[in-house]
Amino acid sequence: MNAPTLPRLASRLWVALCVSLSFAACSTTTPRGKDTLDAGAWRSAKSRMYQDLARQCLQAEDHERAQRLLQQAVQFDAGDAKSLELLAQIAQSGGDLATASDAAQMLLHLQPESVAAWCTLGVVAEAKNQPDVAEAAYRRAQHAAGDDPRPGIDLHRLLLAQHRDAEATALRDELTTRFPRRIEARLDHGAHLAGVGNWNGATSAFEQALAIQPDDASAATGMALGAVMSHAPADALALSDRLPPRARQENPSLQLSLAIAHLQVGDCEAALRELEFTDPVLTDRVSLRVLRGEILFRMQRLEAAQAEFERAIVMAPDAARAHSGLGRILLLQKRHHAAVRALQRAVQLQPGNGASQCLLTAALVATGDLDAARRQLTALRRLADSKALVTELDHLFPQLAAPAEASR
């Protein structure tokens, strides 16, 4: 061995000795069973990390990523009840019934009386059109709920859906007594009444909810819509003084109802101002574009109205009201053939709309196609509640009378 290699060999031996001594020191000073890098502890820590990341995604409203992270959390630690509960909740809200059901079943294995698990299984059963299974799950959850109102709220919604109104009313009264600050049952009751066309009752239910939670957007929107549909615009407009501007600005459905209420009292300027309060991102919606077009049309601002209808059609080619509104403007502009095309599309999309059928008849007369106009008038006569429209067309266009009838 060459002399120069001896120092290097000695150095390596010294390093090896130091390393072995350090391992020996570690092994003699760390108590057995206290290894912080234990596999089980590592997996639990990893699970909690994914759970924390999922919560951050939920705050950012990125539900898809939150669900993926929670699924990873469960893979690392299937015994983490909180991860399973969150996973079941997110999967259920996203319509992933299989994942929601699996997570709920795993949670029940850990906690047989888990309210969240039983409620999730109830919602999944409802979605699968298994009302008996859903009811049994909700009642099981209710039995274990204690001071948790969720099972009662879910069961109340199921009873309404099955039109078991007496049972729903009794349960709603019980929920009101036990949880006076919770308004979900009232909101569900209002939505149920609106669904069956009882707009006065729906307005009352939403108003009760709003009395408890004055800033609740769902209650305000429901009340405004109910008032508009009940032809009581003053009740809807009264909300303008009760709600902060931000609540209205961030809720386009409420904005829409209030604008319609202004229209019902004949105040087009106020209706247009109402829509201008809306968030610019939310403004670019078909329903708001069409309503703005209707308001501008009433204000005789035809070019602006046309632009709104055309934008709505670009956004949603099947928006029948937008085609009808555009056809009406083209008819006034004496662009008769273009009006016919727009109105034909409106009638094709919405055959039961008498106003569109009436406008199409007038447009066909304007093009000189009396045969097509007569056929359209015949179609209009078949619609219910079309008598006034037919009478007006007969008065405006006597030439639409059948030739034999006109020669008498």
* 48-142 classified as CATH 3.20.20.70: no
Asked if residues 103 and 87 have their Cβ atoms less than 8 Å apart, the reply is yes
Predicted pLDDT at 77: 56
SS3 of 179, please?
coil
The pTM of this model reads 0.69
Locate 77 and state its tokens. Answer: 């630690």
Beta strand extents in 63-187 (DSSP E only): none
What stretch(es) of the chain map to CATH 1.25.40.10? 48-142, 303-408
> If you compute the radius of gyration of the chain from its CA atoms, what whole number of angstroms results?
33
pLDDT of residue 50: 54
Alpha-helical (H) ranges within 128-251 are 131-145, 150-161, 165-178, 184-195, 199-212, 217-229, 233-237, 239-242, 245-249
Which CATH homologous superfamily contains domain 303-408? Answer: Tetratricopeptide repeat domain (1.25.40.10)
pLDDT of residue 407: 41
pLDDT along the chain (408 residues), means of 10: 48 44 42 48 56 60 66 62 74 81 85 90 92 95 91 96 95 95 95 94 94 89 93 90 72 86 92 76 76 93 96 95 96 96 96 94 95 94 92 91 54
Residue type at 317 in one-letter notation? P
Burial 248-265, CB ≥16 within 10 A → b, else e: beebbbbbbbbbbbbbbe
Tokens of 67: 């669900």
